[in-house]
A and B are shown apart, each in its own frame.
Chain A
Amino acid sequence: MYAFTYQRPKTVRQAAGLIAKNVDAKLLAGGQTLLPTMKQRLASPPAVIDLAKIEGLAGIERKGRTVVIGAMTKHADVGTSAIVREAIPALAALAENIGDPAVRNRGTIGGSVANNDPSADYPAACLALGATIVTNKRKIAADDFFQGMFTTALEEGEIIVKIAFPLPSKAAYAKFPNPASRYAMVGVFAAKRGSEVRLAVTGASSDGVFRWTAGEEALRGRFSPKSLEGLSVPADGMISDIHGSADYRAHLVGVMAKRAVTTAIGK
C-alpha cells in the first residue's frame, strides 16, 4: 500500500466537498474491493474518503410497497433483516450468499452497486427489481445506472445515499458460483411485478449486468421455467476465462434463469 491521506467526513455534503476538491480521491464504503487493490499496489489514490462515520447512510426501512436500503448497509444486515426477508426474500437470500462472513460483515450495498463489478450479485437484483439508486444529486433508475463493466451513471463526486426496491410479486436469484472465488460466474435474478417480468444476468457478460429481454418476453406469456425451454443467449460478448468459456456461460444463463423462475414460483 502506498501512503495516502485518510479523511473521515461526518456528512454526505462534507464528503462531496472533499471529493470535489480532489477528483483522484476514492470513496471508501466497505473496502472489499478498494483495500485489496491498494494493498496490492494496483491502486494509489492520493486520498481515501471513508464514509463510515456519516450518520444515516446505513439502515433498512419499508415505505409502503418499497424497501429502502441505505448505501452503507452491510450485506449481513440485508441478509438477516426481518423487513427484507418478509418483503423481498430473494434479496435477503442474495445478500446472505455474497462472499463469506468476513466480506458480508464489511461489504456494503452502495459500495457494490457503485463498483459495478461484472461478477457482483447486487447489480442483478437492482436491475431485475427495477430499483432506484438515490444519490446526493438525483434519482437514477437501475436501467440507466449500470453502463458496462465497472461503469455506472455516477458522475464525479456523486455519492450513492440509498437504494429503493419496489416489491415484486415473485422473485428469486439463482447463482452459479465461480468454483474458486465464489463470485457469480452466472447469476440470474428473475422478478415479476404485475405484468412486468425482468431477468437480470450478472457474471456472464463482458458488458456487466444485463437484461435478457428474449427471456423476459417468453416469461411474460407464462411465468414458468417451461417458457424458457429452447431459448438461449448468444455466446457473443460473454466473458471467457479459464473457469468458463463464452458458450458455457451462455448455456448457464439459460439454466440459471429456469432455476430462478422455478424458485420464484415455488414461493
Chain B
Amino acid sequence: MTTTGIGAPVRRKEDFRFITGQGRYTDDIERPGQAHAYFLRSPHAHANIRSIDVSAARAMPGVVGVLTGEDLAKDGVGGLICGWMIHSKDGSPMKAGAHPALAVGKVRYVGDHVAVVIAETLAAAKDAAEAIVVDYETLAPVVDMNAAVKPGAPVIHDVASDNVVYDWHLGDKAATEAAFAKAKHVAKIDLVNNRLVPNPMETRAAIGEYDAGTEGYTLYTTSQNPHVARLVLSAFIGIAPEHKLRVIAPDVGGGFGSKIFIYAEETVCVWAAKKVGRPVKWTSDRTEAFLSDAHGRDHITHAELALDERGKMLAMRVKTKANLGAYLSTFSSCVPTYLYAPLLSGQYDIPAIYCEVEGIYTNTAPVDAYRGAGRPEATFVVERIVEVAARELGQDPAAFRRKNFVRKFPHQTPVIMAYDTGDYAASLDKALELIDYKNIGKRKRESARAGKLRGIGFSAYIEACGIAPSAAVGSLGAGVGLWESAEVRVNPVGTVEVLTGSHSHGQGHETTFAQLVCERLGIPIDQVAIVHGDTDKVQFGMGTYGSRSGAVGMSALSKALDKVIAKAKKVAAYALEASDADIEFKDGRFSVAGTDKSLAFGEVALQAYIAHKFSGQDLEPGLKEGAFYDPTNFTFPSGVHICELEIDPDTGVTKIDRWVAVDDFGIVINPMIVEGQVHGGIAQGVGQALLEGAHYDETGQLVTASYMDYCMPRADDLPSFTVGATVTPCPSNPLGIKGCGEAGAIAAPPAVINALTDALGHEDVTMPATPQVVWRAARKAALRAAAE
C-alpha cells in the first residue's frame, strides 16, 4: 500500500474547498439576467382546481411571467415519470396516475405545484404568488394507508379507483405455506416503518437557461445523476433533444437518494427559461424541502417466521403495505418491491420466503428511495422477527443468529439474490468481543441499581449494493441499464483527468477515484483530477446511489486504466526500442525486462502525444481511453451492529451507551472515508429509530414541516462508535469492493429497537421511539412486572 493508493486513509482532497466556503453549489451560481422562480403550492391535501386566475399576479411589479399547468400542456411538455414498471400478481401493469409538473385540474398533497411565478426578485415572485386566485373545490383527503384501501375511500387518481398502485408478490407461496404447516414454532410481528424526510444539508435548487443562438438549454441542478436527468427531461418529458440539453450538477451538498429523482421544479425552470427569455433560478427553502422532497420508508408490515424444534428457520412470509404518496416519483415503484423483498433472507439460510406488497396512493408527498431504499425496511423486518423468535424460543440472540447463518457461498436465496461471498460469523464474533458481551448481565444489574433499564440489541444486516447488472434489472422492469462509464485522459505531461459518470455529493470521489489512479499509474495524487457532474464533459453515466460508485463506477475506471496501461506499454516499447511483451510497468515506470532501460509514466505520455518514435499508422497517437462496466452481480456488504442503551423509566429518555459496528465492505479504498460513511449512516438510522418521523394530520397537513417538530439526530444524541471490520473481497468486480454508503442506516434501526425491547421486556415499541413512546412502554413493562 502506498500513502495515496488503495487502502490509504488519504485526507479528502475536496474538503479544503468545502470547509473554507469555496464550494460552488447551484445556488452559488448567478447567471446574467437571471430571474427568480417561486412555486405556488397547494394548501390542500386533496382538491379539484376549478380555475386559476393569474391576471392580477401578472400585473404585479417585477413579474416576468406566471405559468400554470395549462401552459405546460400547450407547449407539449410531458408529465413526470416513474421509470420502473411493476406488474401486479395478476400480471396487470402498475396504475401510474398522470403527474404534470404543474397541476392540471386537481391537487393531491399539501405542497403540490399549482403555478410558478418568475420575477426580478424572489420577494417580488412571492408577492405576486399571493395575488394568484385559485378556486379550489376541496375533497376529502386520505393520508392513512389502511383508510386509503377501504371501499368508499377518496379516489386520488382515476386510474386507481381503489388507491392501489400494484398488488405485487415475490417468492414461492406454496413452498412457504408447506414449510409453515410443518413448523414447530411460528414467530409473528407487526411493524411500522416510519416515514422520513431526507434533509440533505443543501436543499434542492435549479437554474434553467436557454440560448436562442444555439437553441440549447442548460440546467444547473442538485442531482445525483445528471445524465439520467437529461435523459428523462429529453426522452420522456420532451423539453429538448439530448444534444440540445446540458445538465450540470456542480457541488451537491448531500442527497441520501432524494436528489436522484426528476422533480417538477427543475423541469419547470428549464422549460420556463425559454418561455420568459431569461435564466430562471429556484432554490428550495427548508419548508418547501419538507413538503416536496420525496420522503422515505413508510411501510406497515406483518411478518411470520416458521421454525423447527431446534430453532432452525424454515420459512418466512411477509405482507407489506407501502405508502407511495400522491404520485409515483421517479424510482418509487421499485423501492418497496425489488429493492425490498429480495433482501428478506438477510444473513440467514431460509429455504422458503413469500412476500406480498401493496403499493398505495395517499394524499401525502411522494415516497421514493432514501438512504438504503427498501433494504433498511427489509432488514428491520428480518432483524426484528429474528430477535423475537430467539426470545420466544429462549435462545441467546447471538447464538440463534449464528445457527441460522448462511455458511456456504455462493448461496442462492429463494428471493432472487445469489450471495457471492461473506463470513457472517466472523463479523458476529468480532462484534461480541468489542462490546464485551460476556459482561452484559453485570452491566444490566448495575443499571438496575441506578433505577435504569439497560438493553442490548443486535442487527446482522445484509444489503445489495453495486447496483446492478443491466440485463437483470431490465428483466425486473427497470427502464434503464445500471452500468457505469469512465474515461481516462492522460495529458502530455502525464497528469490525468478522470471523467466519471458517478457523481459525488459528499462521498469523496475526488479522493477515492484518484487513489485508484495513483495505485495503478504510480503518479502523485495531486496530478489526478476527477471530473463529474456535467453532461457536456462526461459522455454518459448512471450516477450515484445504492453504493454503486465504488463497485461499478471505479470498476469502469479500472477497466479504462487497464486500457491506458496497455496502450502506454506499446508507446513505451517504441520509445525504448523493445518489444511489447518485454515491457513491464511498476511503480509508475515502464521498463524493459532484464535491462536498466526505463521511462517514467509522464515521459511515456509525452511520447504518446509527440508521436516521434512510432508511425501514426501503426499506433494511434494520444493517450485517452474509456470503458463501460456492467456488473455481473449485486454486491453484498454485510455486518453486525450491536447497540447497548439505557432507559430512564421516569422520563422515557433513551441514552445509547455503546455502539459496535463490524462491517464487511470487501476491499476498502479509503478507510477514513468508509468510517465516516458508517458514522453518518448510524446517525441516520438512530434518527429513524429514536427521533425522526414525518407526521401528517388527518386533514393532510404536514405537522413536522420544520426542525421545530421534525427531530434530526444531533451529536449529543449519539455515543462514540466502535467501528471494526472483517474482509471478504467481493468476487463480482475487479476491485473486490462491496460498498458502504447505506450500511449504518440499514443496520441501526433494528439494533436500537431490539435493545429497547430487550431493556423493556416486551415488544411493543414503535419508531420513532421518542421519550414519550418509551415512557409509555416502560410504564407498561412496570405494570406487567407488578402483575407477575
Contact, CB under 8 Å: B703 / A242:
yes
Give Cα A180–Cα B712 distance, bound, in whole angstroms: 7
Which chain A residues lie closer than 8 Å to B650 at the CB level? Answer: 255
Interface centre among B704, B711, B712 (most CB of A within 10 A): B711
- Asked if B404 is an interface residue, CB under 8 A from chain A, the answer is no
- Tell me what chain A mostly uses at the interface: helix, strand, loop, or mixed: loop
In the bound complex, CA of A148 to CA of B650 (Å): 28
Instruction: Flag A232-261 by CB within 8 Å of B: 1 or 0 each.
Output: 000000000011110010011001000000
**Nearest CB of chain A from residue B358's CB, rounded to whole Å:** 27
* A243-B772, A251-B775 known; A179+B711 contact, CB < 8 A: yes
Q: Are B651 and A243 in contact (CB under 8 A)?
A: no
A243 touches B709 (CB 8 A): yes
Does B651 contact A252, Cβ atoms closer than 8 Å?
Answer: yes
Contact with A along B748-767 (1 / 0, CB 8 A): 00000000000000000000
CA distance A90 to B546 in the complex (A): 50
Does B786 reach chain A (CB closer than 8 Å)?
no
Q: Are A243 and B775 touching (Cβ within 8 A)?
A: no
- A179 touching B771, Cβ below 8 Å: yes
B480 within 8 Å of A (CB atoms): no
Tell whether A242 pairs with B709 under 8 Å between CB atoms, given A1-B123, A179-B771.
yes
The answer to whether B772 touches A248, judged by C-beta atoms less than 8 angstroms apart, is: yes
A41 CB-CB contact with B under 8 Å: yes
Say if the beta carbon of B299 comes within 8 Å of chain A. Answer: no
A181 at the interface (CB under 8 A from B): yes
Interface string of B678-712 (1 = CB under 8 A from A): 00000000000001000100000001100111111
Residues from chain B with Cβ under 8 Å of A255 in the complex: 650-651
Point out the residues of chain A lying under 8 angstroms from B771, CB to CB: 176, 179, 244
Indicate with 1 or 0, residue by residue over B766-778, a CB within 8 angstroms of chain A CB atoms. Answer: 0000111001100
B126 CB-CB contact with A under 8 Å: yes
Assuming A243-B770, A243-B772, A248-B775, is B123 touching A180 (CB within 8 A)?
Answer: no
Within 8 A of B (CB), among A11-61: 40-41
Please report the C-alpha to C-alpha distance between residue A41 and residue B285 in the assembled complex, in whole angstroms. 13
Q: Are B775 and A181 in contact (CB under 8 A)?
A: no
C-alpha spacing A181/B703, complex, angstroms = 14
Are A242 and B711 touching (Cβ within 8 A)?
no
Instruction: Please give, as numbers and ranges, the residues of chain A lying within 8 Å of B708 by CB-CB distance.
Output: 180-181, 183
Question: For the complex, what is the distance from the CA of A244 to the CA of B283, rounded to whole Å?
Answer: 34
Q: Closest Cβ of chain B: how far from A240's Cβ, in Å?
A: 11
* Known A-B contacts A1-B123, A179-B771, A251-B775; A242 and B651 likewise in contact (beta carbons under 8 Å): no
Residue of B nearest to A179 (CB): B711
- Collect the chain B residues with CB atoms within 8 Å of residue A40's CB: 287
Question: Which residues of A (141-194) have their CB < 8 Å from a CB of B?
Answer: 176, 179-181, 183
Most buried by A among B126, B127, B695, B709: B709
A1 to B126, CA, bound (A): 9
Residues 266-313 of B contacting A (Cβ, < 8 Å):
287
Contacts of B709 on A, CB cut-off 8 Å? 180-181, 242-243
Please name the residue on chain B nearest to A249 by beta carbon. Answer: B772
A267 → B minimal CB distance (Å): 22
A129 to B704 CA separation, bound complex (whole angstroms)? 35
Contacts of B703 in A (CB 8 A): 242
Query: Assuming the A-B contacts A1-B123, A41-B126, A255-B651, are A244 and B711 also in contact, with contact meaning beta carbons closer than 8 angstroms in the complex?
Result: no
CA distance A69 to B506 in the complex (A): 46
B residues less than 8 Å from A251 (CB atoms): 775
B770: which of A1, A2, A179 is its contact (CB, 8 Å)? Answer: A179
Q: How near does chain A come to B769, taking the closest CB pair, in angstroms?
A: 11
Residue in A1, A180, A244, A255 whose Cβ sees the most chain B Cβ within 10 Å: A180
Chain A contacts of B695 at CB under 8 A? 242
Q: How far does the alpha carbon of A41 sit from the alpha carbon of B287 in the complex, in Å?
A: 13
- The closest CB in chain A to the CB of B652 belongs to A248
Which residue of chain A lies nearest to B127 when distances are taken between CB atoms in the complex? A2
Is A179 in contact with B707, judged by CB distance below 8 angstroms?
no
Q: How far is the CB of B145 from chain A (nearest CB, A)?
A: 19
B651 surroundings in chain A (CB, below 8 A): 176, 252, 255
A40 to B707, CA, bound (A): 14
> Quick one: closest A residue to B690, CB to CB?
A179
**In whole angstroms, what is the CA distance A176 to B651 when docked?**
9
Shortest Cβ distance from B713 into A: residue: A179
CB of B775 within 8 A of CB of A179, answer: no
Q: How far is the CA of A148 from the CA of B445 in the complex (A)?
A: 46
In the complex, which residues of chain B have a beta carbon less than 8 angstroms from the beta carbon of A180?
A: 691, 704, 707-712
CA of A1 to CA of B124 in the docked complex: distance in angstroms?
A: 10
Minimum CB–CB distance from B143 to chain A (whole Å) comes to: 14
Q: Which of B708-730 contact A (CB under 8 A)?
A: 708-712
What residue in chain A is nearest B771 (Cβ atoms)?
A: A179
Are B691 and A242 in contact, with the CB atoms below 8 A? no
Residue numbers in B under 8 Å from A242 (CB-CB): 695, 703-704, 709
Contacts of A243 in B (CB 8 A): 709, 770, 772
- Closest-CB distance, B482 to chain A (whole angstroms): 37
Tell me which residues across on chain B come within 8 A of A176, comparing CB atoms.
651, 771
Q: What residues of A have a CB within 8 angstroms of the CB of B772 in the complex?
A: 243-245, 248
Quick one: closest A residue to B648, CB to CB? A255
CB distance from A231 to the nearest CB of B (A): 14
Contacts of B770 in A (CB 8 A): 179, 243
| Nearest CB of A to B251, in Å | 24
User: Which B residues touch A245, using CB under 8 A?
Assistant: 772
The docked-state distance in angstroms from the alpha carbon of A242 to that of B705 is: 13
**Cα A213 to Cα B771 with chains together (Å):** 27
* Complex CA distance for A255 and B451, rounded to whole angstroms: 14
How long is the Cα–Cα vector from A255 to B651 in the complex, in angstroms? 7
**Distance in angstroms between the alpha carbons of A243 and B711 in the assembled complex:** 10
Residue of B126, B771, B772 with highest tally of chain A CB at under 10 A? B772
Is B707 a contact partner of A181 (Cβ separation < 8 A)?
A: yes
Provide the bound-state CA to CA distance between A91 and B745, in Å: 40
Alpha-carbon distance A36/B776, docked complex (angstroms):
35
Kindly state the separation between the CA atoms of A251 and B771 in the bound complex, as whole angstroms.
12
Closest to A185 in B: B771
Q: A residues within 8 A CB of B707?
A: 180-181
Distance between Cα atoms of A146 and B337 in the complex (Å): 56
A80 to chain B, nearest CB (A): 20
Q: What chain A residues lie within 8 Å of B711 (beta carbons)? A: 179-180
Taking CB atoms, residues of chain A closer than 8 Å to B775 are 248, 251
A203-231 contact mask (Cβ, 8 Å, vs B): 1 or 0: 00000000000000000000000000000
- How near does chain B come to A106, taking the closest CB pair, in angstroms? 17
- A245, B652: Cα distance in complex, Å: 13
Minimal Cβ-Cβ distance residue in A for B704:
A242
Give, as a whole number of angstroms, the nearest-CB distance from B373 to chain A: 25
Bound Cα distance from A114 to B704, whole angstroms? 27
Q: How far is the CB of B778 from chain A (nearest CB, A)?
A: 11
Which among B127, B691, B695, B775 has the greatest number of chain A C-beta atoms within 10 A? Answer: B775
Taking CB as reference atom, which chain B residue is nearest A258? B650
A118 to B126 Cα, complex, angstroms: 31
For the complex, what is the distance from the CA of A243 to the CA of B692, rounded to whole Å? 11
Chain B CB within 10 Å, residue with most, of A40, A242, A255:
A242
Closest beta carbon of chain A to B687's beta carbon, Å: 11
Q: Chain B: which residue is nearest A2 at the CB level?
A: B127
Bound together, the chains give a CA A251 to CA B651 distance in angstroms of 8
Shortest C-beta distance, B270 to chain A (Å), equals 28
* Chain B residues within an 8 Å CB radius of A2: 127
CB distance from B137 to the nearest CB of A (A): 26
Q: What would be 5 A-B contacts, judged by CB atoms less than 8 Å apart? A: A1-B123, A180-B707, A180-B709, A180-B710, A248-B775
A residues adjacent to B (C-beta < 8 A): 1-2, 40-41, 176, 179-181, 183, 242-245, 248, 251-252, 255
Q: What would 20 more interface pairs be, CB under 8 Å, given A179-B691, A179-B711, A243-B709? A: A1-B123, A40-B287, A41-B126, A176-B651, A176-B771, A179-B770, A180-B704, A180-B707, A180-B708, A180-B711, A180-B712, A242-B709, A243-B770, A243-B772, A244-B771, A244-B772, A248-B652, A248-B772, A255-B650, A255-B651
The 9 closest A-B CB pairs, nearest first, are A180-B711, A181-B708, A179-B711, A255-B650, A248-B772, A244-B772, A180-B709, A242-B695, A255-B651
